[in-house]
Structure 1
Amino acid sequence: MAIADTLINAFTTLLVTVDPPGLAPLFLGLTTGMNRSERSQVALRGSLIAFGILAAFALFGSSVLGILGISIGAFRIAGGLLLFWIAFEMVFERRQDRKEKTKDVAITLDQIHNIAVFPLALPLIAGPGAISATILLAGSLQSSFERAQLIGVIAINLLLLFATLLIAERLDRFLGVTGRAILTRLLGVILAALAAQFVVDGTKAALSLAGGAPH
């Protein structure tokens, strides 16, 4: 796969996994009672922290897998299955319920000034799906320059997310309940297809590795 195709795939996968339109109403719920300036600070801090987390996994995720003795093919299969489960939840509206529960717990247990870290940055933005997708994508990029491009793609995605959070109130009113449901299901189908491709690529890599092993 050409580097341009890989980066487009990376952008699409991360955008769907992070799901800015789905996070907008949750962000509003997390920041209830805050003014526009305070919401902007929370959105900025949460986006920056999430970027740091995903960039770290883009740089060092594959190395950690190597230390643990996990092949990238095996991780592609596992990560693809995890992303497929997230896609299933999106299509059948289960992911939003889970995120709502995460949001409610956080408001109870954490002070309002810490919500940018938990649950906004982790796990709502840089959740298991986004982290798995980042490691999978980084595994197909070998050079430092390609990894730097992936980090650039992560930055663009989180800039889009930050912009979405800044206009969350207007976006939520514009989409409405029906619009959010349609968009979430559409993104879920796209993510399911991307997840299936990860599983196919991982299976090919695993079979290739097995075929090359000495008997």
Structure 2
Amino acid sequence: MKQTQLLNAEKADSQIVFSNSMEEEKNFKEKDLVRLKPFGLSVSTDFARPFLLLKDEEHKYTLPVAVNPLEAGVALSQANKAVAPTTPHRFTELLLETLHIEIERCVFVELKGHFQFVRLFLKNHPTQDSIKIRADEVMSLCLHLDIPIYASKEYIAKSRVMNAEMDGVSANIQAHPSIIQKNHPYIM
């Protein structure tokens, strides 16, 4: 198993090398990463997936993150400060605290089809420096734990293209609803 290496982050040319047992490797220059914060949630009543919108501090870059409806609902309920906080992440938070494991940061690393992947960097885990996971499965946890979120400018541009493609698919389904009709008796 390859280990994640962190090179001298003080230098402008330093790189973070991501790797895991699938031999996936990504190189990013630290200076190319943009810190992103939650800005809003795009929810619609059509067939489109909800999008969590992340922006940098200057509102120069926007990263749309496709999330499943459950993650969107959790993110919305966590953001509502008018009611007592409820979250499905309380157990995960307590487990990480008990094991003295910290998630130091979340970095967007890969696009596969219409799925975005992030790498969560861990501190004090006995065997892993990082974990790669689909963004739509972990965004509300990152927001709940207030994990710093980063992406490269190149990744943000590619994600905007993915977002446009998904909008096109949604528009096609709205224009031709027969695409999703269940015409077979075995399909519910």
User: TM-score w.r.t. structure 2 length?
Assistant: 0.29
Of Structure 1 and Structure 2, the greater helix share is in 1
Of Structure 1 and Structure 2, the greater strand share is in 2
User: TM-score w.r.t. structure 1 length?
Assistant: 0.27
Question: Taking CA–CA contacts closer than 8 Å with sequence separation of 6 or more, which of the two structures ends up with the larger relative contact order?
Answer: 1
